[in-house]
Amino acid sequence: MSDLEPLDGLGDVEPAGGVDEPAPLGEAVEAGPVVSSLSEAGGWLFHLQTQVDDLDELVNAALGNARPGAAAERPALPAQPPVKPGDEWETYYRDVEEFVNEFFVLAFARTLGGNALWCDRWWDHPEAVLRLEGLWRTFETSRRQPENGGPIFLALVDHHLPILLSAAGPFSACGGSGHNPPPPLPSVLAPAGHWAPMATSAGTGS
């Protein structure tokens, strides 16, 4: 089962149709062990899906549509010791490339075309690498904190994925013509002495 926290007031809901009132969430959902590994690409979402399933079971119970033994269908998750400051731990995915190829492109698949653009050579787009590297590192940190890491990771995905796939994003020139990374933005060196006043102000604290 999952690490759901009791929700205030959920146990006070009156069920319809004369069905016995379900137990409060803190009693109906037994706290389970912490996720420590994934069985397959994209399997890390198992923990989040478990939470959704638990809530769905309680709603169905309140409506009289509960499936007996539904929770028992899910396998138990392996236990994991807590992470302490200074602990060393291995990442689940070796690097950002493995994270993208074995998880990201599967878990967040999209139908491409129109305003949704992607490039299979994403690793040759510096902006895409920076964004995906940040998502990978957040994923590795979040999976060690299943009580709140999932929403943090998904919030970052919700922010970065539209930018990555945008028609104005890093893959904007990689449509039907194939891989075509955009040229760097133009930049001209500042004239000599341009930064001197700033350096002086910073040095004097004024």
Q: Which pLDDT score is estimated for 73?
A: 53
The pTM of the full predicted model, rounded to 2 decimals, is: 0.54
Q: Which pLDDT score is estimated for 129?
A: 96
Mark the ranges of the chain whose per-residue pLDDT is less than 70.
Answer: 1-89, 199-206
DSSP state of 172: T
Burial class from Cβ neighbours inside 10 Å (0-12, 13-18, 19+) for residue 91 reads middle
Residues 6+ apart with CB under 8 A from 154: 48
Residues 6+ apart with CB under 8 A from 36: 77, 78, 79, 80
Q: What are the boundaries of each domain within the chain?
A: 10-73, 83-184
Q: Which pLDDT score is estimated for 62?
A: 62
Q: Which pLDDT score is estimated for 197?
A: 78
